[in-house]
Structure 1
C-alpha cells in the first residue's frame, strides 16, 4: 500500500513538477502528512454522508455575547438550537487576518484570539462534523511569510508568485477589478506580486514545492484538531501560466488530487470540497474522475432558484436540473442558496440570457441589494455577484414588487434545496431569517457586509422565542423540514433524481432511494397564485399508499388533483 501511495503521488507530481525528483518529493509529502510506507489506502467510492447530513455555514463571530468569546457563544447556540438537527458546521476562516472577513490569513496555525482558541474549535468538532477553510490561493500581505518575502529570507522569500510588470495578462480570468500586479519593496528592490483578489491577498507560488509541503503540514494540523471537511477556497486560480487564463489549469487539478490522496490516507472519512464560483460546465470538472473533490458547490442553484421564485417561471431551473449529471458514488453536490458571499452571476453564463440577468439584477436592487463587478478581457467589467440577504431577495416578484408572500416564498426555496440530490447547506442568516444589514455595510465599506450581520445573542434568542417573529417562524419551519428529510432514504445525497414536467408554474422532481424501497415526488408551486396538479400527471403507483410528508395529508384518490397554495411544497412519499 505504501508503494502504491508513493506511485500515485509520483504520477501527479510529474505533471506539476516535471523537472524535480518526484519520488523524493512524494516521500517528503508522505512524511509531512505523518504517513508511513504501509499506511493503508482508504476504500474507493465511499459515500461519507447520508440523508441525515445537513450543514450550517457561519462566521465564528456571527453571534456574540459581550462577556465571552464568540466561539464559546457559537458552540452553545449550535448545541441548544440545532443539536440533533444539523450534523455539520462550516466555520468560515477563524484565523488571524488582515482583511476580507478572514480570507486574508496571517497565520494558518492560529485561532484569532478575539474569536477564541483551538480548544473552542475542538469542542465544536466533538459535537458536529467540522468544515474549515483551506485558504490556499493567497495569504495576507501582513503575514510573517510575506514579511520574510520582503526581507528575502526563509520561510517565505520565494513563497509568493511574482511577475514582470509588462506581463501580458489580458487573458487572465479573475473576479475583481483591482490591479492584478502589485509593486512591493523588498531587500532586492521593487518586485511585482500577483494579487487575484486584492493587494492585501498575495497569491502563493505553488511552483515552489516548499509551498505545497507547507500546506500538507497545515492540513495535518487541522485534521489533528478535529477538522474533517476541507473547503479549498478559490482553488481554481492556484496555478499561473503566461499566455493563459490562469484558471482551471491542469496543474491545479493535479494539486487537488495530490492533497485528496494525502488527506484520505490520513483520515479515510475526510471530505474535500472545492470552491469554484464559475460557470456550471467548468465547475463540474472539479469532480475529475471521482478523484478530485468529493463534493462541489452547486453554484448555479442560488441565482436560478431565486430567479424562478421572483419570476414565477421554472423553465431555466428545470432545464439546468435535467442537464446535471448524477454524481458518481463517492462524490456529491453541496446545495446552497445563500452564503457569506453574494449571489454569483458567473454560474448563470449559458443558463440565463443577458436580458434575464439584468432583470434579475434590477429586481434584487429594487429589494435593497447591491452589485459588485469583475474585470473582463481588456478594460471591460461585468456583474460578478449580487449582495443581498436571502430573506430580502425573496420579498416579492419581478413584476409586482414586494408582497405578502415573503415567508412562504423563502420556505419554498429551502424546501426545494432540501430535496435535491446532494447535501443541503444553510447559511446561518438564512436559518434565522436575517435581513439586509445596511449599517454594517456602511461601517465596513464593503458590499458583502450587507449579508454578514452580527447578532447579539440575547436579542436573537428573544426573537426566536417570539412566535410572532418571522425569525422564529423561519427557524422553526426549517428545522421541521430538516427533521423530516433526515428520515427519508430517498433523500440520500446520491439517491436517484428525475425531473418532472408539470408546466412552468409548478416545479417538480422525483427521488428514489438506493434500495428502491421509497419514492418521493417533490412538487412546488413557485407562483403567488393557487395551482392545481392532476395526480395522473405524476404517475403514482396505485398499489402504494401515498402521503405528503410536509403536511401529513394522505392521498386516497389517485385520479384526483392536489391544490397547491402559493409557494406550497409537497413531498409525496410511498412510506411515512
Structure 2
C-alpha cells in the first residue's frame, strides 16, 4: 500500500541534470526523510520527444541517458515509485507504427492503432466529428498514406505524433499488459493511467469518459492489482466525474483543488473550497502543480452542469493568474504557444500567487490538510519562478514550468525561507498521526478550519484570509503546539 506521506513529482534529468541514480542520491542526501515516494515522470525512450516523454517510441525501455531498469528497481527499494502507463497513444516514431506506415494493413501491428473507420465503419458525419470531445482545437484525426498506397485517418487525440491505441484489439491489450509486467518486475508499485479518459471511442458519443471507459478502467486496475500495483486515474473533467471515477479505481487526482485554492486566496473567500472538501473523494492524490498546466476545467461548469465555480469566476481566476505572473502565463497558455490545451493555464504555482511567500506556504498548508496523499512537483518544491528562457527556446507552453535544475540551483533554493518553510510543512504532514484519522472542515467566507482527528491526537489549520493569519494547532499526548505560517518564513521569531 502507498504510504500516507508527501511524494515528489519529478523528471529524473530536469531535477538533477543527470539520471535516475542521481535522483536516488538526492532523495537519500539533501532531501533525506522529506519524501516517501516519487512520481517518476516519463523515463522511457525518448525523454525528449514532442511531449517530454509522453509520446514514447518504446514504452518498455528506459532512455539510456537516464539509466536502466536496474536504476528504477533500486529507487523502488526505498521509495514508492509511480510510473505513467500511457494508455491512449504511442509515438508515430515507434517501430510498430513505422511498420504500419511501410506496409499498411499488411503490418502485424496494424490492429495496435485506431483509425476513424474502426469506430465509424459506415462513415462519419460532421455532427459525429463535432460531438467528439478533444482537449485541443481542431480535428482528432490525421490522414496518413501507407506503403500499400492507401490513406487512412488515424485517430490522434492529442498530436499527430501521438497515435491512439486500439485498446479493444488483442494487440492493444498485449502492448499495455507488457508494459505493466515490466513495471511490476522493477519495483514500480503505483501506476498513473495517463489520458485514460480518452481511451474508449464509440460512435454516437463524445468519446470521453463513457460508461465503457469506466468498465475499461475497472479491467485495467484489476490487472495492475493482480501484479501488486495500485492505480490512479489521470482525468481532467467535471468534479462530479471525479467523484464517479473514484468509486471505480484505487485512487484519483483531486484536480479541482489547485484552482479552488487560487480562487480562495485571490478572493478571500473559502466557500467554494469548503463545499468541495466536504464532498471530495478521500481516495485521492492532491496536487497544486504538475508537469502539465494548472487545470481550470475541473472546478468549472461543463455543458449544462454547474461547476464549483461559475464561468465568471473561472474567467476572473485565469485573468488574476495572468496579472499575478505579470503576463508571463499569458505567453505560455493557449494559442500563444504550441501547447494549446483548452483547460490549462501554464505557469508555476509560485508565480500564479505573485511569488508571495506567505500565500504560497498557505496554499501548501491547505493542500496538506485536504483529504488525500499530497504530491509536490519539483519546481514547486524549490519555489521556482517561470522559466521564460526555456519557453522562448522551445515555444512549448508547458516548459515554463519544466525547468532544468542542477545541484547548485538546488543547494541555493534549499537556503531560501520559503523552501525551508515548505520542507517544515512537509515534515508536519508526514509525522503527525492525526492525518491517518478523520477529516473535518468548517467556516465560511474568509475564516475557516481544516482539521484531522485520530483517537486523542488532533491537528488543525486555522485561517483568517482577511488578516492573512494562519496557524497550525497540534494536540498530541496532552501537549498543544502552535505553528504560525508566518513564523515558518521567519524562524528566528519563534
Q: Which band: TM-score by shorter chain?
A: 0.7 to 0.9
| Greater fraction helix | 2
The 5 Å alignment of 1:78-477 reads 78-97=27-46, 98-150=49-101, 151-152=103-104, 153-164=106-117, 166-167=124-125, 168-188=128-148, 189-267=150-228, 270-288=229-247, 292-324=248-280, 327=282, 332-349=283-300, 350-366=307-323, 367=325, 368-370=328-330, 372-373=333-334, 383-395=342-354, 406-464=356-414, 467=415, 472-477=416-421
Structure number with larger C-alpha Rg? 1
1:34-88: per-residue Cα shift (whole Å, max 9, x none)?
A: xxxxxxxxxxxxxx2444x2110001211244xxx42232222122122222110
1:496 to 413, 425, 438: 438
Instruction: Name the CA distance, whole Å, in 2 between partners of 1:530 and 1:74.
Output: 36
Shift, 1:456, TM fit: 2.3
| SS of 1:519 mapped into structure 2 | strand
Shift, 1:546, TM fit: 5.8
Instruction: Name the CA distance, whole Å, in 2 between partners of 1:382 and 1:145.
Output: 27
Report what 1:517 is aligned to: 456
The reply on whether 1:61 has 2:13 as its aligned counterpart is yes
1:126-146: per-residue Cα shift (whole Å, max 9, x none)?
A: 221110000110111111111
Whether the 8 Å CA contact 1:412–1:567 is kept in 2: the answer is: no
1:547-572: per-residue Cα shift (whole Å, max 9, x none)?
A: 23535xxxxxxxxxxxx96999xxxx
Q: For the aligned residues, what is the CA RMSD?
A: 2.6
| SS of 1:63 mapped into structure 2 | helix
Count of aligned pairs between the two proteins: 463
Instruction: Name the CA distance, whole Å, in 1 between partners of 2:487 and 2:456.
Output: 31
Whether the 8 Å CA contact 2:246–2:252 is kept in 1: the answer is: yes
Q: Structure 2, unaligned stretches of length 5 or more? A: 118-122, 301-306, 490-494
Whether the 8 Å CA contact 1:104–1:140 is kept in 2: the answer is: yes
* Residues 360 and 345 (structure 1), Cα distance of their counterparts in 2 relative to 1, 3 Å cut: same
Q: Give the TM-score taking structure 2 as reference length.
A: 0.87
Instruction: Name the CA distance, whole Å, in 2 between partners of 1:528 and 1:506.
Output: 10
Shift, 1:529, TM fit: 4.3
Report what 1:36 is aligned to: none
Shift, 1:105, TM fit: 0.9
* Residues 107 and 433 (structure 1), Cα distance of their counterparts in 2 relative to 1, 3 Å cut: same
The reply on whether 1:72 has 2:21 as its aligned counterpart is yes
